[in-house]
């Protein structure tokens, strides 16, 4: 058997530094009142942010019909433009 297969595999593992976001679709934001500020606590109360994640990422699936101030860790380009098209604000928080 070759030497490289007999040696133990060690070294850098990127899994320790992986950032995982909880995805929330744009259509799910319609359950909030018009003009509200939607942050992590509001997502948890609505049942949209369960489990342990590093934050929330708003994705562009669905259609937004309300003006909201959304505070999340990340936004897709389509979601950010859809929120701003309704007159809302998409804020990135850490």
- Domain ranges in the chain are 21-92
pLDDT digits (tens, 9 = 90+) for 34-77: 999 999 999 999 999 888 888 999 999 999 999 999 999 999 99
What is the value of pTM for the model shown? Answer: 0.79
* Per-residue pLDDT reduced to its tens digit, 75-89: 999 999 999 999 999
Residue 16's pLDDT band, with cuts at 50, 70 and 90, is: confident
CB atoms within 10 A of CB 56: 24
For the chain, the residue count is 94
pLDDT at position 60 is 93
- pLDDT reported for residue 8: 87
The residues that bridge with 23 in the sheet, in sequence order, are 57
Class of domain 21-92: alpha beta
Tally the C-alpha atoms within 13 A of residue 42's C-alpha that lie toward its C-beta: 16
């Amino acid at each position: 058997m070759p030497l490289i297969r007999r040696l133990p595999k060690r070294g850098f593992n990127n899994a320790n530094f992986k950032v995982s976001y909880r995805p929330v679709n744009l259509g799910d934001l319609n359950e909030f009142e018009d003009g509200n500020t939607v942050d992590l606590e509001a997502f948890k109360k609505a049942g949209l942010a369960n489990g342990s994640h590093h934050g929330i990422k708003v994705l562009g699936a669905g259609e937004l019909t309300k003006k909201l101030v959304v505070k999340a860790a990340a936004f897709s380009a389509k979601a950010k433009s859809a929120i701003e098209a309704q007159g809302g604000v998409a804020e990135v928080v850490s």
